[in-house]
Each structure stands twice: as structure tokens, then as C-alpha cells.
């Protein structure tokens, strides 16, 4: 379990985040959970009509982040942003490729003001290439990178819609975090910042490396049911139980498969785990036995017995799961409008958690005065920028 008293690993790092949703917002969420000082940079209300405003609970409600709104198209706004960037370590943006350059805030401009800056551009398809200007979302990147094709099929024969935004979170957000952390380590040695071209679609390729590398090396065409990880064998599948629940069975290793077969009274199938000719029979036998008891009864019997069996939980069940409860993964948050509620805390290894409820800011809260004073902008100038609608 993560120590609640650990010193945050990134407490010395300051991040400017220009994103509102998607992979870049997930990236800054993770950096903040590790202690980075994250400043969310949005557009002033009259300039932000096309921006998505996430629900109050999304991305952990921007807990422990600061906020400022800046019109980056105004000269005073660009200057204010550059002053903030001079005092920052990382800038994260997720505009279409070329937008930051057109605003006069591209990497070379920021680098001239702060040679140590790490500029992370997170986009769907990367900053160049024939797809770079395509609009897209999670499903598009999973489709392009082969993830959907290798997933099981719906009744109509099409790939399923995943139950989580795998591309946004892992191929995009975590990808960006890893790249930023590597750049920070390199900067310690060289003193130089870096430009990071984070392509979510290429992050999907990283997730699909086993299948893609198999094809490149052998010419095989992985897909649903091609190998053990995509449903070829009964030992790696999902099975219904008497009460309408489902079990995940992932008994890949022969010893685990043997344990499972013995526990189910199906020892006769142990020698045939990877026999393609017998898979329909093994599945039928498993289905018949699993249908005889309720899901949680099977879990109680099989999970502790080294069988690689677990329940398929609903989100409601996840929220009350005793293992997660004991691990302390849920924390309290307090919102000025929504009140007190639970949310997932900083769950990644090494990210410290708080015993106290996190105080979330309301939708109209910003830290504009404090942030701009900190970078040397006089109070009168801040007041003028506010009156002109350049900052808020």
C-alpha cells in the first residue's frame, strides 16, 4: 500500500496544462498525483465556447490543481503565458498540430524564454504524417492500431466497444507521463529541455506490440481466437454462472490449468489444454460445471486455489470491493456545489494519498492573481488584463 506520509516524488516540478479532457488531461492528473504543481490553463468564458467542460467529478475534479484562464490570441495573454512558462518545467498541450505555432507559442518560442522547458504535444496521430490533421477519439486510435480487430466479436460480427478508454488512459496519458519523466531525467544530466511528440495511435502500437511484432516476424495474422490471449483456448475465457454472473478464467500455465480442472472435477481434460481439436469439448464441459453454482461461490472456492479465476465485476461492485477498500484506493472529496463524495485516489505506485478529504474548487474558481503576481506581473497590469477579458 502506498505510504500516506511519502514525500511526493514530483513536488519540485511545475506543469502548465492547456488541455481540458482526454489523454493530456489524464497525463496532468497523474503528474499531480505524484506531487507536481499543475496549473490548468483554460480560455476566458467569452473565448471558450468550443471547449469541453468535463463533469465536476471527471479527472478527479482537478484536485490539488491551480487554475487560470488566458486568451492566448491576445498579446497580453500570450505574454502572461510566456511569463508562466519561464517559471515552469513542463507544458502540456493537445491542440491540433500547428495550433501552438500559429498562436506564437510553439516550442522554439518557449525554449528561447526557458531552455529547460519540456514541451509535450499530445495528439491523436502525431505532429506529422498523412493522418496528423484527422480528428479522433479513443475508439479511432484503438481501431487504427489493431486493438479492436484482436478483440472478441459482437453478435453481428463486429469488434466490441471497449469498456474503458484504453487509448486515452494508457496509450495517451501514461505514454505522455513516461515521456515527460524520461525528459526530466535527461534534463538533470544535460540541463536542456525537450520537445515530445506524443501520438496516441503510436501508444496503441506499443500496447499491441506482441501481436504486431508476431506478424512482422512470422507473417502470421493475429486476430480474435488466434492465440491463447485472444480466445483460442478454453483455459482463457469467460464463463457464465448460475446467477447470471460471469467468471474470468486465465489459467495459462499448465499447473494453474491442472488446478482448475481438478477443482471442477474435470481432470480428464488436463492433458488437452492446448489441443485445438478438443477446445469445443473443454469449453462445453466448463460451461456445464460453472452453470451449477453462483459466481461468488465459485470465486470463494477457486480464487484462493491458484486457478487464475476472478469475478467479472460491475462498476458498482468495484466501488465496494473489500480488497480495494482495504488497500485504501478510494478517498473523499468535497465540492462546493456537489458536496462530499468518494473518488479514486492516487492509486499508482509511489503516489502519496491524503487521510483528509480533498477540497475541490467550484467551476468559476481561478488563481489568476496569485499566479500572475508570482511571475512578476504588477497588480495594476493584472487588473487591466482582467477588465479586458484577457485573463480570468
Active-site residue set: 137, 168
CB atoms within 10 A of CB 39: 19
Q: Which H helix or E strand runs over 66? A: strand 66-69
Contact 209, 217 (CB under 8 A): no
Q: Where are the alpha helices (DSSP H) in 17-154?
A: 22-33, 75-86, 99-102, 107-113, 138-144
Write the Ramachandran bin of 62: left for phi over 0, alpha for psi from -120 to 50, otherwise beta: left
d(CA 199, CA 201): 5
Q: Which H helix or E strand runs over 289? A: helix 279-290
- Calculate the alpha carbon distances from 245 to 151, 241, 296, 310, 358 in Å: 21, 5, 8, 11, 35
Q: What is the DSSP annotation of 155-167?
A: TTSSPPPPSS-HI
Q: Which H helix or E strand runs over 118? A: strand 118-123
Q: Which residue has the cell 475508439?
A: 139
Amino acid at each position: 500500500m502506498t505510504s500516506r506520509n511519502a514525500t511526493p516524488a514530483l513536488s519540485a516540478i511545475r506543469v502548465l496544462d492547456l488541455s481540458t479532457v482526454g489523454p493530456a488531461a489524464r497525463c496532468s492528473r497523474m503528474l499531480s498525483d505524484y506531487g507536481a504543481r499543475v496549473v490548468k490553463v483554460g480560455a476566458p468564458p467569452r473565448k471558450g465556447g468550443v471547449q469541453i467542460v468535463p463533469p465536476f467529478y471527471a479527472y478527479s475534479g482537478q484536485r490539488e490543481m491551480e487554475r487560470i484562464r488566458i486568451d492566448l490570441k491576445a498579446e497580453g495573454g500570450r505574454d502572461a503565458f510566456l511569463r508562466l512558462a519561464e517559471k515552469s518545467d513542463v507544458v502540456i498541450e493537445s491542440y491540433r498540430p500547428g495550433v501552438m505555432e500559429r498562436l506564437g507559442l510553439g516550442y522554439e518560442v518557449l525554449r528561447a524564454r526557458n531552455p529547460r522547458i519540456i514541451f509535450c504535444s499530445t495528439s491523436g496521430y502525431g505532429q506529422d504524417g498523412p493522418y496528423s490533421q484527422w480528428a479522433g477519439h479513443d475508439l479511432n486510435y484503438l481501431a487504427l492500431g489493431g486493438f479492436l480487430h484482436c478483440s472478441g466479436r459482437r453478435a453481428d460480427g463486429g469488434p466490441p466497444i471497449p469498456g474503458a478508454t484504453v487509448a486515452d488512459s494508457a496509450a495517451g496519458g501514461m505514454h505522455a507521463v513516461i515521456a515527460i519523466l524520461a525528459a526530466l531525467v535527461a534534463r538533470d544530466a544535460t540541463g536542456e529541455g525537450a520537445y515530445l511528440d506524443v501520438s496516441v495511435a503510436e501508444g496503441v502500437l506499443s500496447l499491441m506490440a506482441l501481436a504486431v511484432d508476431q506478424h512482422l516476424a512470422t507473417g502470421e495474422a493475429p486476430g480474435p481466437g488466434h492465440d491463447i490471449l485472444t480466445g483460442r483456448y478454453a483455459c482463457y475465457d469467460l464463463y457464465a454462472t448460475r446467477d447470471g454472473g460471469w467468471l474470468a478464467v486465465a489459467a495459462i500455465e499448465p499447473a494453474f490449468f491442472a488446478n482448475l480442472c481438478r477443482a471442477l472435477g474435470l481432470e480428464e481434460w488436463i492433458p488437452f489444454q492446448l489441443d485445438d481439436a478438443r477446445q469445443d469439448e473443454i469449453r462445453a464441459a466448463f460451461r456445464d460445471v460453472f452453470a451449477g453454482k453462483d459466481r461468488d461461490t465459485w470465486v470463494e472456492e477457486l480464487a484462493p486455489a491458484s486457478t487464475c479465476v476472478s469475478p467479472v465485476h460491475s462498476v458498482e461492485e468495484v466501488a465496494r470491493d473489500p480488497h480495494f477498500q482495504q488497500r485504501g484506493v478510494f478517498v473523499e472529496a468535497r465540492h462546493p456545489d456537489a458536496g462530499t463524495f468518494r473518488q479514486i485516489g492516487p492509486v499508482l505506485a509511489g503516489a502519496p494519498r491524503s487521510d483528509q478529504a480533498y477540497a475541490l474548487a467550484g467551476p468559476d474558481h481561478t488563481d489568476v492573481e496569485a499566479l500572475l503576481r508570482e511571475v512578476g506581473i504588477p497588480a495594476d497590469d493584472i487588473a487591466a488584463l482582467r477588465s479586458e477579458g484577457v485573463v480570468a
